[in-house]
């Protein structure tokens, strides 16, 4: 009797398997019979010679609705099949993409049943049943890009007709020449040039090079060796396995080639791919289209879509000029960086800085995740203190010896400043007072939650004082995230998710529904945002961000410089736009960086031009004339109009203030006009606790920030 339950369980399991087998069988038969009937009824003829003309180029439009970029103009060179020097390339392609290519009539019924069975077992799409001929057909049937069974039927119909009208060699030649292979390249001949600098008609390819090229059609951007080298290597090695399986190479050769590096070089891109205007912005749009709409770069290139964006052409041109301007980088070849400019109200991305030498296929530097340094302080410390604890710009903080466990933060000048106002702490990027405010007043969990609410992609390991107060984040942040976060200060506490695409329509004008909608949310109260703007205006007018100031315009912002000059930041904003700029050392800290120098000057170079035609307006809640500064005497022996470097020594350091800041005789620098007296949530902040109960941060990831 004890065995009966097991018997019944086995019987039920067997019945379940039989059930699924019957479903697969019946479905396969239905699709096969029905599909073939529809193929016969809907057969259409397409001329392979007209495939190129059948493509419908998609277009990108700017914020004014003007077309700025036409997609689909891929780099392409035609190569006849019999002129390809490396015959193994063709053999490997057939082995990987369609092993029964020479045996079927355009549609492989066995392959489709096999794929369907595998998909049912995996409860999703794990295999495709498309033949090489069907993929060629797909490039002809471009007026219908929806992923429906009806499109598959059309592909089958065209494939069947292609097989009747053309030889296998002609179909294969079309496939080799019109397949999309990433980096705006179509066809094997141009792909071999941009990845290996080889001409297929003159030079032999190695089996490793063949494997990389043959592996690309499955996911050209996902296996892009320039942007996804690890994934590209994995895919190449899988293809090498198939090549060994069919006897194109030996097992020993397979193992040897799998150990090789990819062998690609970005200089080949620069050599063979033509430069396009607005390239970084265009490539960002392609990434966003796939993420938010599920439309691949290949589909966009040929699908006839109309992509409306928030691009400000004037801003994008200026951004490109900034990163091409060597003088803004002091002619230092080891420096590179990225930037993002967004509309403060809508979150629409107006411009993208891809890097100093950006080409399609390069990493978009605006999306590089780097430690933000002190630029994180307003988001995680200062604004939460105002929002949650009633602090103001005049609240007094203690800057005196303070420890968290065995960690003792220090300031740039290696001294303490006593009682200082919150706005002075922000302007001079004083670390000790900031750490005290975070740990004793705001709280680690609160700071972390506000960072996440503002859209920073924090790691669980960042839930400690050093990362949240000084910016030594585990995985860093990118300029899109930082611009989005600061937009809360420019937009009365609300942020709208940063996005480039406003809408996408099909060739017939239908709006494509996004899979992920743009979200607007409240992060801070309006009064908190306005107080932070006053504080950050002060940081630009009197603190480390002076190089970001625009004469006659209100500007608010904060600098940041990380340990050993690895990265430097400036995140600033006007009433209209927010811009985050990041500059980094390609080889450690060989070039001395400060956020108030390189990034702030790039910000000023771009933003000054962007707002030049706009009417001057003040930030909400401010009464002073825009851009008006107090007259402050220079300290003795200080060179005029020269910014002192921000502090960059390590996790315990802060930024060095501008030399023209007045010598402090009182805890807080006096305002130029009568202002309310300094206030604090309590009569006086409590003295720092040298051993607070919170656990000490141990070796903050990646070192910490200073400025």
Average the pLDDT over 40-51 and give the result.
56
User: Residue 250's CB: how many other CB atoms inside 10 A?
Assistant: 11
CA angle 137, 142, 143 (to 5 degrees): 135
Whole-angstrom CA distances from 89 to 190, 208, 701 are 14, 11, 46
Q: According to the model, what pLDDT value does residue 658 have?
A: 34
Q: According to the model, what pLDDT value does residue 355 have?
A: 95
Contact 682, 350 (CB under 8 A): no
DSSP assignment of 207-275: HHHHHHHHHGGG-TTTT-TTT-HHHHHHHHHHHHHHHHHTTSS-HHHHHHHHTS-----HHHHHHHSPP
Query: Tens digits of per-residue pLDDT, 536-556?
Result: 999 999 999 999 999 999 999
Strands 520-522 and 67-70: unpaired
| Average pLDDT over the chain, rounded to an integer | 80
Residue 644, pLDDT above cutoff 50: no
Contact 495, 521 (CB under 8 A): yes
Phi-psi category of residue 627: left, alpha or beta, with phi > 0 → left and psi -120 to 50 → alpha: left
Report the alpha-carbon distance of residue 425 to residue 431 in Å, rounded: 8
Residue among 74, 97, 299, 567 flagged as catalytic = 97
Encoded tokens for 605: 């170079």
Average the pLDDT over 559-582 and give the result.
95
Model confidence band, residue 629 (pLDDT cutoffs 50, 70, 90): very low
Query: Tens digits of per-residue pLDDT, 81-109?
Result: 999 999 999 999 999 988 888 888 778 76
Model confidence band, residue 186 (pLDDT cutoffs 50, 70, 90): confident
User: Residue 460's CB: how many other CB atoms inside 10 A?
Assistant: 7
Looking at 43-47, 305-309, 504-508, 572-576, which range is the least confident one?
43-47
Encoded tokens for 279: 């390239």
Which has more confidence, 302 or 457?
457
Q: According to the model, what pLDDT value does residue 77 have?
A: 81
Report the alpha-carbon distance of residue 309 to residue 292 in Å, rounded: 13
Q: According to the model, what pLDDT value does residue 430 have?
A: 94
Residue among 374, 429, 464, 487 flagged as catalytic = 374
Encoded tokens for 184: 């705006």
Q: Is 42 exposed, middle or buried (0-12, 13-18, 19+ CB in 10 A)?
A: middle
Residue 482, pLDDT above cutoff 80: yes
Whole-angstrom CA distances from 27 to 118, 123, 160, 364 are 13, 14, 22, 45
Model confidence band, residue 673 (pLDDT cutoffs 50, 70, 90): very low
Q: Using alpha carbons, select from 73, 357, 337 the residue that is nearest to residue 190.
A: 73
Model confidence band, residue 73 (pLDDT cutoffs 50, 70, 90): low
**What are phi and psi for residue 413, nearest 5 degrees?**
-85, 5
**What are phi and psi for residue 81, nearest 5 degrees?**
-60, -40
DSSP assignment of 61-124: E-TTS-EEEETT--EE----GGG-S-HHHHHHHHHHH-TTTTTSSSS-HHHHHHHHHHHHHTTS
Q: According to the model, what pLDDT value does residue 10 have?
A: 58
Residue 329, pLDDT above cutoff 60: yes
CA count, 13 A, side-chain hemisphere, 399: 30
Residue 184, pLDDT above cutoff 80: no
pTM over 0.95: no
Q: According to the model, what pLDDT value does residue 645 have?
A: 34
DSSP assignment of 510-531: PBPPPSS---EEE-S-HHHHHH
Q: According to the model, what pLDDT value does residue 106 have?
A: 75
Q: Which residue has the tokens 């103001």?
A: 392
Looking at 48-52, 286-290, 499-503, 585-589, which range is the least confident one?
48-52
Please say if 374 is a catalytic residue.
Answer: yes
Model confidence band, residue 634 (pLDDT cutoffs 50, 70, 90): very low
Q: According to the model, what pLDDT value does residue 17 have?
A: 60
Q: According to the model, what pLDDT value does residue 359 have?
A: 81
Contact 72, 301 (CB under 8 A): yes
Q: Which residue has the tokens 């500059």?
A: 583
Please say if 97 is a catalytic residue.
Answer: yes
Report the alpha-carbon distance of residue 571 to residue 510 in Å, rounded: 38
Report the alpha-carbon distance of residue 247 to residue 249 in Å, rounded: 5
Q: According to the model, what pLDDT value does residue 27 have?
A: 61
Average the pLDDT over 220-228 and give the result.
89
Handedness of CA 446, 450, 453, 456 (dihedral sign): negative
Q: Is 684 exposed, middle or buried (0-12, 13-18, 19+ CB in 10 A)?
A: exposed
Contact 112, 98 (CB under 8 A): no
Q: Which residue has the tokens 């007709």?
A: 161
Model confidence band, residue 136 (pLDDT cutoffs 50, 70, 90): confident
């Amino acid at each position: 009797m004890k065995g009966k339950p097991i018997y019944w369980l086995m019987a039920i399991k067997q019945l379940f398997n039989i059930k699924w087998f019957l479903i697969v069988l019946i479905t396969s038969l239905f699709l096969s019979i029905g599909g073939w009937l529809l193929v016969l009824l809907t057969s259409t003829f397409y001329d392979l010679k007209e495939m190129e003309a059948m493509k419908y180029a998609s277009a990108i439009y700017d914020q004014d609705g003007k077309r700025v970029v036409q997609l689909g103009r891929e780099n392409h060179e035609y190569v006849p099949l019999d002129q390809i020097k490396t015959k193994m390339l063709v053999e490997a392609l057939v082995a990987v993409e369609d092993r029964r290519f020479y045996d079927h009539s355009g549609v492989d019924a066995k392959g489709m049943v096999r794929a369907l069975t595998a998909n049912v077992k995996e409860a999703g799409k794990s295999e495709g049943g498309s033949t090489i001929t069907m993929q060629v057909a797909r490039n002809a049937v471009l007026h219908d890009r929806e992923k429906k069974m009806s499109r598959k039927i059309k592909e089958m119909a065209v494939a069947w007709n292609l097989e009747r009208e053309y030889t296998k060699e002609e179909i294969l030649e079309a496939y080799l020449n019109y397949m999309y292979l990433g980096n705006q390249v179509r066809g094997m001949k141009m792909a071999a040039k941009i990845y290996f600098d080889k001409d297929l008609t003159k030079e032999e390819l190695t089996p490793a090079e063949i494997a990389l090229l043959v592996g690309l059609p499955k996911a050209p951007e996902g296996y892009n060796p320039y942007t996804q080298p690890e994934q590209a290597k994995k895919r190449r090695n899988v293809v090498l396995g198939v090549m060994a399986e069919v006897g194109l190479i030996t097992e020993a050769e397979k193992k040897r080639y799998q150990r090789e590096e990819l062998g690609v070089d970005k200089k080949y891109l620069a050599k063979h791919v033509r430069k396009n205007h607005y390239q970084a912005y265009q490539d960002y749009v392609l990434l966003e289209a796939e993420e938010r709409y599920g439309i691949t770069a290949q589909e966009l290139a040929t699908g006839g879509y109309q992509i409306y964006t928030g691009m400000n052409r004037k801003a994008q041109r200026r951004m490109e000029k900034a990163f091409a301007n060597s003088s803004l980088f002091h002619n230092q070849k080891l420096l590179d960086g990225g930037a993002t400019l967004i509309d403060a109200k809508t979150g629409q991305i107006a411009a993208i800085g891809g890097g100093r030498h950006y080409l399609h296929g390069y990493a978009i530097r605006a999306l590089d995740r780097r430690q933000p340094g002190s630029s994180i302080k307003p988001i995680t410390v200062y604004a939460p203190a105002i929002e949650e604890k009633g602090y103001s710009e005049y609240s007094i903080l203690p800057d005196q010896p303070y420890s968290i466990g065995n960690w003792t933060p220090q300031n740039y000048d290696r001294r303490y400043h006593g009682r200082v106002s919150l706005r002075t702490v922000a302007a001079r990027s004083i670390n000790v007072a900031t750490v005290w405010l975070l740990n004793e007043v705001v709280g680690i969990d609160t700071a972390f939650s506000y960072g996440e609410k503002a859209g920073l992609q924090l790691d669980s390991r960042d839930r400690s004082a050093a990362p949240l107060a000084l910016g030594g984040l585990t995985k860093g942040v990118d300029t899109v995230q930082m611009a989005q976060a600061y937009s809360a200060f420019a937009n009365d506490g609300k942020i709208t998710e940063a996005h480039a695409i406003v809408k996408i329509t099909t060739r017939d004008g239908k709006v494509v529904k996004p899979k992920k909608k743009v979200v607007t949310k409240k992060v801070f109260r309006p009064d908190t945002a306005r107080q932070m703007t006053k504080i950050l205006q002060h940081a630009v007018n009197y603190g480390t961000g002076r190089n970001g100031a625009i004469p006659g315009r209100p500007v608010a912002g904060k600098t940041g410089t990380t340990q050993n000059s690895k990265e430097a930041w400036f995140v600033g904003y006007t009433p209209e736009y927010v811009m985050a700029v990041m500059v980094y050392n390609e080889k450690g800290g060989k070039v001395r960086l400060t956020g108030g120098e390189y990034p702030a000057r790039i910000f000023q170079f771009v933003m000054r031009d962007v707002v030049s035609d706009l009417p001057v307006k003040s930030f909400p809640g401010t009464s002073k004339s825009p851009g008006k500064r107090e007259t402050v005497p220079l300290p003795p022996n200080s060179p005029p109009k020269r910014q002192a470097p921000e502090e960059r020594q390590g996790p315990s350091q802060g930024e060095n203030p501008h030399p023209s800041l007045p010598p402090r005789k009182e805890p807080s620098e006096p305002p130029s006009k009568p202002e309310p007296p300094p206030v604090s949530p309590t009569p006086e902040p409590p003295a720092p606790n040298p051993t607070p109960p919170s656990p000490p941060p141990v070796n903050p990831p990646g070192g910490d920030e200073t400025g």
